Amino acid sequence: MIKNDLFLRALKGETVERPPVWMMRQAGRYLPEFMEIKKKYDFFTRCRTPELASEITVQPIRRYGMDAAILFCDILVIPQAMDIEVQMKPNFGPYLPQPIRTQKDVDNVIVPDVNVELDYVMQAIKATKEKLNDEVPLIGFAGSPWTILCYCVQGQGSKTFDKAKEFCFTQPLAAHELLQKITDTTIAYLKAKVKAGVNAVQVFDSWGGMLSPTDYQEFSWQYIQQIIDALKDEAPVIVFGKGCWFALGDMAKSGAAALGVDWTCSAKNARYLSGGNITLQGNFDPARLLSPPADIKKMVTQMINEFGKDRYVANLGHGILPNIPVENAKAFVDAVKEYEV
Closest CA to 117 of 26, 48, 40: 48
288 annotated to bind ligand: no
83 annotated to bind ligand: no
206 annotated to bind ligand: yes
197 annotated to bind ligand: no
29 annotated to bind ligand: yes
176 annotated to bind ligand: no
3-state helix, strand, coil in the chain (%, to 5): 50, 10, 35
Closest CA to 141 of 27, 264, 262, 4: 27
C-alpha span between 218 and 86 (Å, rounded): 26
- Written as one letter, the residue type at 241 is G
The per-type count for the chain, helices as H runs and strands as E runs, is 17, 9
Q: Which residues contact 175 (CB under 8 A, 6 or more apart)?
A: 149, 167, 168, 219
26 annotated to bind ligand: yes
Beta partners for residue 241, in sequence order: 205
Kindly list the strands in the beta sheet with 200-205, ordered across the sheet, starting from the edge strand earlier in the chain. Answer: 69-70, 138-143, 200-205, 237-241, 258-261, 279-284, 312-316
9 annotated to bind ligand: no
Residues of each annotated binding site: 25-29, 44, 74, 151, 206, 318
Residues of each annotated binding site for substrate: 25-29, 44, 74, 151, 206, 318
